[in-house]
Structure 1
């Protein structure tokens, strides 16, 4: 089973203190931890990323850290990816920054329809997140896109498609049957009393799927050799 699990932060949907919940998610085996801070000051988001990086380095946790929207923070902390929304910088602009700076992180993009997904791939996105698949607290009152729409996107694209929206251990098997590359969750992990156990249960349910992703989600390009971000930062400052 090559499908990956992304856990996305949300300051309004967690039981444990947010940093603790994210660390526990990493300990449980989340492949990606995405820091999404829509309203927090840049300094606050930067601090959260740095704290999480330091803990993951010290405890040898393998989760990769992505940042939502904030390309500046992604570059300055050398995280493994940046995830763009509709109001973020355009994908080609971020790709140009990547070439200019030598950063090797992935560029992801949220999409909600097949035509948006196709445009994102053509613009240079490394992966897309499609949703919401099921009813979700993040989108109250909005009808979900459903599994059929997810399958169409997964079939049409040649880059990884991550499903999001109302996904938990009871329905993740049906989601993976569409051929998507993995799932992204918020509430099913962060709202749990024990995020570590929640991640393990979700990963166990994913392991039961006998459908391989159409396109495996590669957490880094083959040539990407990730340095310790704290060490790299100190070297630059020195």
Structure 2
């Protein structure tokens, strides 16, 4: 597949969440976000039963393959294999990273959630290709590790500095605060409602990408000074 399988190139990462979509279909939102240039899509939809999630995954696989963008499945290694996803993202209570790798193959992308240096280094030692670090800011999501008040951009930077894989900030991130997250050290940001709940998901994705680019440019300027 013609996908960007290097997580270090991911700047904007969409995690699906129908509960935030105001009744709009997830494939439509994903298609709009892909048009705007999101770098990776994660199928989450935990409130959806396995059969519906499978059929949704097949549709998202078509959309992401056409766009040349990786499809990651949240938690479910079996579902990732069933829809021919590019990989899986695992939380602290999910299957071990090594087991997922054995089931999906050496070429699969395996991500892991972390909210501390200890969790991050353990995940990387186990073979994680990238980390989802957060919750950066306050969030109600049960799928994000860490303090519900948020660990803050500074700790994201601390975690990123401690590992040699990309660290994507997640949790409570939107276009207004994304720049600070990447400026602190994240390679990109992952969002649910910032795109899914937006009146215009495509425009929201474009604005988010602009904010991330701005943060990366400021980080580069600070590194040169």
Tell me if both proteins adopt one fold, taking TM over 0.5 as the criterion.
yes
Partner of 1:120: 123
Matches within 5 A, 1:6-25: 6-15=13-22, 16-25=24-33
**Aligned-residue RMSD, C-alpha:** 2.1
Cα distance between partner residues in 2 of 1:129 and 1:121? 12
- State the partner residue of 1:4: 11
More helix by share: 2
Please say if 1:50 is aligned against 2:58: yes
Quote the Cα distance in structure 2 between the aligned partners of 1:168 and 1:37.
Answer: 20
2:223 is matched with which residue?
none
Q: Return the alpha-carbon distance in structure 1 between the equivalents of residues 59 and 101 of structure 2.
A: 26
Work out which of the two has the higher radius of gyration on C-alpha atoms and give 1 or 2. 1
CA apart distance, 1:148? 1.6
* Cα pair 1:29 1:63 within 8 Å, conserved: no
Of structures 1 and 2, the one with the larger relative CO (CA 8 A, separation 6+) is 1
| Cα distance between partner residues in 1 of 2:103 and 2:157 | 32
| Offset from partner CA, 1:137-190 (integer Å, 9 cap, x none) | 326992210112111100001111110011111111111112211110011110
Q: Do residues 33 (structure 1) and 36 (structure 2) align? A: no
CA shift for structure 1 position 3:
5.0
Q: TM-score, normalised to structure 2's length?
A: 0.85
Measured in 1, the distance between the counterparts of 2:91 and 2:198 equals: 26
Unaligned 5+ residue runs, structure 2? 1-7, 221-225
1:72 to 52, 61, 78: 78
**CA 1:142 to 1:206, structure 2 compared with 1: closer, same or farther past 3 Å?**
closer
Question: Is the CA contact 2:61–2:84 (under 8 Å) kept in the aligned structure 1?
Answer: no
Q: Does 1:175 align with 2:181?
A: yes
Match of 1:106 in 2: 109
Whether the aligned pair in 2 keeps the contact of 1:3 and 1:206 (CA below 8 Å) is no
